[in-house]
């Protein structure tokens, strides 16, 4: 394998992975393919098929994030105590049960039950998945893994969305039942891997002798250098980013830009194409650069993208507005390729190995909080036609994100920031015994 990160290829990246990490990467595609079938259409399903009002449907979807926010601290503790592998099994199982219930839900109480299980997965599943990644790979390979994993997530969701859009029909409720059941089955695949090829990979680190008996609370972790900044970055990131993708962007594009739902669908397709096409290129370009500076660049790109979306109001209902909406999503996606390989890497490099579960729980909690606040703020501002103020708020959020990233740079070591000795390429031989294996698990 070449030692030059700028000459990195997919084959050299694959060769650098230990066998368990390869299995874990493969599982990503299958589980998110199922999510892609249902994620873009859940609100449509609840509203047009099950007859719930849009307000109720939106509130029920937000309920899953609220439940996750409440359970995330518990999930972080359990990840450190039980191991990430067990928490991935629990999260995947909960997601499978949740979407299976949703497939047959005809009333609000049943949907609430489904969202409770989905919230369990949101609380612990993905954070534990990041901890499992960090237990298997290190150095630049870890950063590459986070980036490639993110591209695969988008590819799976994009493909699932295309297939789901072709297959489902609101006049045939059984088509929705089918895609939710397929989603439930897809979530069983990572469970099978955890019980099979990955059964010896627990993703748990032993507590150092000097730390044994020391009680660690989330409040004490938040007081550690850099952690408050990471929490703020996650909160702002979710509020101005993914939280708005499910609420603010579609509403703005329909009500202000006045584009069709087809254009909105194509915009999400453009997002997926940009991420899948350029993620590997971006990984090569950002290697050895300060991760915090990469976050600043991403914030600038996102600010430009939101300004472009805001400008569509001057061309409402025209082809120009539609083209600008597509450009918005292309720019937004390019920013995503910068953030995803950096923020998880900073979090897991900053965290002591035996506390990674709780560090990732804090990161996940900040995301959940931002995801809850985003639709509430977007709904209020756009309902009261505060369109310019809405865009201004998001641009200000981008500026705040850049400021917090610079503050973080002063509080973390160069190694954690991706420019120290740990930035050297790491090759983990597939034939060597893994430190994370524990035959007793």
On whether the CB atoms of residues 154 and 76 are closer than 8 A, the answer is: no
- DSSP letter (8 states) at residue 209: G
- The domain spans of the chain are 11-201, 221-423
Helix (H, G, I), strand (E, B) or coil at 410: coil
Tens digits of per-residue pLDDT, 261-318?
678 778 888 888 898 888 888 888 888 889 999 999 999 999 999 999 999 999 999 9
Q: Do the domains 11-201 and 221-423 sit in the same CATH topology, yes or no?
A: yes
CA 115 to chain centre: 18
> Counting runs of H as helices and runs of E as strands, what totals does the chain give?
19, 0
Name which CATH class applies to 11-201.
Answer: mainly alpha
pLDDT for the residue 387: 93
244: confidence class by pLDDT, cuts 50, 70, 90: confident
Arithmetic mean of pLDDT, 341-347? 85
Residue 227 pLDDT > 90: yes
pLDDT for the residue 405: 95
Strand partners, 201: 437
Highest mean pLDDT among 143-147, 195-199, 351-355, 401-405: 401-405
Phi, psi of 437 (to 5 degrees): -80, 140
Pure H helices in 137-260: 139-167, 173-186, 188-195, 218-222, 227-240, 242-245, 248-255
Arithmetic mean of pLDDT, 225-244? 91
436: confidence class by pLDDT, cuts 50, 70, 90: very low
The long-range contacts involving 192-195, CB below 8 angstroms and separated by at least 24 positions, are 193/23, 193/24, 193/26, 193/27, 194/85, 194/88, 194/89, 194/92, 195/89
pLDDT for the residue 212: 63
Residue 157 pLDDT > 90: no
Highest mean pLDDT among 109-118, 286-295, 350-359: 109-118
H helix or E strand, kind and range, residue 289 = none
pLDDT for the residue 37: 81
Query: Model-level pTM?
Result: 0.75
On whether the CB atoms of residues 295 and 240 are closer than 8 A, the answer is: no
Token representation of residue 136: 């298997």
Residue 203 pLDDT > 80: no
Residue 433 pLDDT > 60: no
CATH tag for 221-423 (out of 1.20.1250.20, 3.90.550.10, 3.65.10.10, 3.90.850.10): 1.20.1250.20
427: confidence class by pLDDT, cuts 50, 70, 90: very low
437: confidence class by pLDDT, cuts 50, 70, 90: very low
- DSSP letter (8 states) at residue 5: G
pLDDT for the residue 103: 95
């Amino acid at each position: 394998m070449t030692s030059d990160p700028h000459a990195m290829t997919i084959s050299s990246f694959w060769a650098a992975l230990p066998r368990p990490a390869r299995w874990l990467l493969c599982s990503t595609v299958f589980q998110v393919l199922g999510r892609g079938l249902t994620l873009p259409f859940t609100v449509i399903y609840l509203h047009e098929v099950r007859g719930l009002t849009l307000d109720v449907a939106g509130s029920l979807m937000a309920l899953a994030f609220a439940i996750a926010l409440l359970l995330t601290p518990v999930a972080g503790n359990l990840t450190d105590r039980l191991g990430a592998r067990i928490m991935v099994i629990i999260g995947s199982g909960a997601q499978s049960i949740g979407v299976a219930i949703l497939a047959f839900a005809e009333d609000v109480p049943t949907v609430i039950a489904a969202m409770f299980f989905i919230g369990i997965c949101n609380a612990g599943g993905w954070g534990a998945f990041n901890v499992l990644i960090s237990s298997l790979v290190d150095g630049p390979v870890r950063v590459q893994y986070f980036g490639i994993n993110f591209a695969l997530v988008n590819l799976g969701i994009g493909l699932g969305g295309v297939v789901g859009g072709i297959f489902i029909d609101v006049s045939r409720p059984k088509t929705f039942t089918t895609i939710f059941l397929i989603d439930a089955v897809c979530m069983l695949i990572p469970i099978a891997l955890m019980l099979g090829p990955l059964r010896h990979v627990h993703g748990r680190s032993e507590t150092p002798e000097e730390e044994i008996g020391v009680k660690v609370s989330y409040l004490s972790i938040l007081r550690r250098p850099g952690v408050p900044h990471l929490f703020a970055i996650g909160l702002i990131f979710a509020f101005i980013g993914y939280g708005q993708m499910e609420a603010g962007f579609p509403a703005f594009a329909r009500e202000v830009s006045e584009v069709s739902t087809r254009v909105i669908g194509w915009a999400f397709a453009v997002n997926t194409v940009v991420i899948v096409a350029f993620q590997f290129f971006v990984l090569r370009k950002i290697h050895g650069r300060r991760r915090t500076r990469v976050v600043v660049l991403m914030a600038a790109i996102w600010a430009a993208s939101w300004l472009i979306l805001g400008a569509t109001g001057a061309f409402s209902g025209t082809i120009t507005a539609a083209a600008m909406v597509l450009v918005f999503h292309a720019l937004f996606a390019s920013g995503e390729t910068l953030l995803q390989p950096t923020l998880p890497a900073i979090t897991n490099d900053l965290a002591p190995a035996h506390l990674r579960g709780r560090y990732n729980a804090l990161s996940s909690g900040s995301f959940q909080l931002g995801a809850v606040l985003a639709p509430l703020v977007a709904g209020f501002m756009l309902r009261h036609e505060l369109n310019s103020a809405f865009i201004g708020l998001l641009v200000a959020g981008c500026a705040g994100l850049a400021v917090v990233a610079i503050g973080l740079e002063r509080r973390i070591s160069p190694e954690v920031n991706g420019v120290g000795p740990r930035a050297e390429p790491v090759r983990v031989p597939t034939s060597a015994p893994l430190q994370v294996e524990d035959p007793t698990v």
